């Protein structure tokens, strides 16, 4: 039995590996031969460092190899490292508490299997790549089939909260809501005016207003200064929308629904989806997550042609899942309330998408410069992004420039109250 150590990687003992394999096989009838870690390098994530744990076992005198996905805390920009440390407990809660209480549900297919948690060090999960799933890069937008598959799983994730709350309410004989018992795991780590990210989104909002000047033709019915003022006002509303709502029904949201956290398996039969990374879970209106996902993962042409259909697909799946558990969708969200929440929350979700893509959509070579210099990365995240753009000619990149422009166009239209 041997362990090949990876520099700065997590350490797994033979006891750890026995626990992992036993949970995977649901059996102790095997011999552990050897195990080793494999560094997966830079996979594009900002809140984790990733490895693969390879375990060789002997079952009935036959050698078998098992592979598991390992997620650890990142090293790099201080603000991201501190945010990841706060977030680790949230993801642990989802895998060790929330999902296990719903294991009897047939629709719980949206998340990878969980095998072990080493507190504040590592999570051991099913390696979805073994099943043919692949993660998406931030500059690879989703197509129609990808979106439809992901909408189904997102609706199931959100519906699971409603089912959980109904079951607990029945047990208690009164209305139960998630934040009553689990608020320590459901507060917003990212969009917070306190803590390590206090300056991060303020800088993102300021940057949105600064970058808008590059597209002077967009605000046709208002001045640029008025457009910028609306951008800043709308951006700061993000801090409120991500809190528990008294107007709309709240659900547990994955909190980080952008391409790197959406695993897709594409084959002749269609597209299958699995949602990963629950570090930024929050308890808030489902539309904040749904609309954000649709704006950050698509280009404008797809949104223009199919946004209404995408919303309807989600609502249909959400209702069907609830009905299978004896819940009428109209008792949670009527269709009218659902659309009302879209028009109400849409502008803030576009602002959040712009905030993410200011960094996530950078040309790969420019992003690598930041990743390799934690001091400059912290400065760009918390103080000044436009200076970096100008220094490195970022707006010469077509994908970066054109994608941001499309989002600014949609943001302006949302300010004008444009309907579907």
Whole-angstrom distance, CA of residue 257 vs CA of residue 251: 15
pLDDT at 43 over 80: no
CA distance 253 to 283: 6
pTM over 0.85: yes
Confidence (pLDDT) at 7: 58
Q: Are strands 31-39 and 3-4 parallel, antiparallel or unpaired?
A: parallel
Using CB atoms within 10 Å of the CB of residue 8, give its burial: 0 to 12 exposed, 13 to 18 middle, 19+ buried.
Answer: exposed
How many other β-carbons are positioned within 10 Å of the β-carbon of residue 159? 26
Provide CB contacts within 8 A for 171, sequence distance 6+: none
Q: Determine the average pLDDT of the residues in 107-111.
A: 94
**SS3 (DSSP) at 199:** coil
Question: Over the stretch 314-348, which tens digit does the pLDDT of each residue have?
Answer: 999 999 999 999 999 999 999 999 999 999 999 99
- How far is residue 260 from each of residues 42, 244, 286, 332, 361, measured CA to CA in Å? 12, 26, 20, 30, 12
- CB within 8 Å of 136: residues ≥ 6 apart: 142, 259, 260, 262, 264
pLDDT digit string, tens, across residues 115-153 = 999 877 899 999 999 999 998 998 999 999 999 999 999
Q: In this structure, are residues 112 and 123 in contact, taking their beta carbons and an 8 Å threshold? A: no
Cα torsion 257, 404, 134, 254 to 10°: value is 0
Report yes or no: 237 and 348 within 8 Å, Cβ to Cβ. yes
278 contacts 254 by C-beta, under 8 angstroms: yes
Stretch 260-283: mean pLDDT, rounded?
95
For the stretch 195-249, pLDDT in tens is 778 899 999 999 999 999 999 999 999 999 999 999 999 999 999 999 999 999 9
């Amino acid at each position: 039995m041997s362990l090949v150590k990876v520099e700065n990687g997590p350490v797994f003992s033979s006891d750890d590996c026995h626990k992992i394999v036993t949970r995977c096989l649901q059996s102790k009838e095997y011999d552990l031969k050897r195990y080793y870690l494999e560094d997966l390098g830079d996979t594009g994530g900002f809140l984790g460092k990733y490895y693969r744990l390879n375990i060789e076992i002997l079952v009935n005198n036959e050698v078998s190899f098992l592979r598991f996905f390992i997620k650890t805390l990142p090293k790099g920009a201080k603000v991201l490292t501190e945010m990841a440390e706060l977030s680790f407990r949230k993801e642990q809660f989802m895998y060790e508490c929330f999902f296990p209480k719903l294991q009897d549900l047939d629709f719980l297919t949206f998340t990878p299997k969980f095998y072990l948690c080493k507190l504040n060090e590592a999570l051991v999960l099913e390696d979805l790549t073994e099943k043919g799933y692949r993660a998406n890069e931030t500059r690879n937008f989703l197509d129609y089939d990808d979106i439809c598959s992901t909408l189904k799983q997102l609706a199931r994730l959100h519906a699971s909260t409603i089912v959980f709350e109904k079951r607990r309410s029945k047990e208690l004989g009164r209305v139960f809501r998630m934040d009553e018992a689990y608020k320590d795991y459901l507060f917003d780590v990212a969009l917070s005016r306190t803590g390590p990210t206090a300056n991060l989104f303020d800088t993102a909002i300021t940057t949105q207003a600064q970058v808008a000047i590059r597209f002077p033709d967009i605000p046709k019915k208002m001045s640029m200064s008025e457009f910028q003022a609306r951008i800043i006002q709308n951006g700061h509303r993000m801090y409120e929308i991500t809190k528990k709502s008294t107007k709309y029904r709240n659900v547990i949201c994955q909190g980080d629904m952008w391409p790197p956290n959406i695993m897709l398996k594409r084959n002749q039969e269609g597209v299958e989806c699995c949602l990963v990374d629950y570090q930024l879970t929050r308890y808030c209106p489902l539309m904040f997550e749904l609309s954000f996902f649709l704006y950050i993962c698509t280009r404008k042409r797809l949104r223009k042609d199919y946004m209404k259909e995408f919303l309807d697909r989600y609502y249909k799946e959400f209702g069907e899942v609830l009905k299978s558990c004896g819940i009428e969708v109209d008792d949670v969200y009527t269709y009218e309330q659902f659309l009302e929440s879209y028009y109400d929350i849409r502008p803030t979700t576009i602002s959040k998408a712009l905030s993410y893509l200011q960094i996530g959509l950078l040309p790969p070579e420019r992003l690598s410069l930041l990743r390799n210099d934690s001091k400059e990365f912290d400065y760009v995240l918390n103080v000044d992004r436009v200076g970096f753009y100008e220094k490195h000619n970022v707006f010469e990149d077509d994908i970066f420039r054109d994608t941001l422009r499309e989002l600014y166009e949609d943001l302006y239209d949302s300010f004008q109250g444009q309907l579907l």
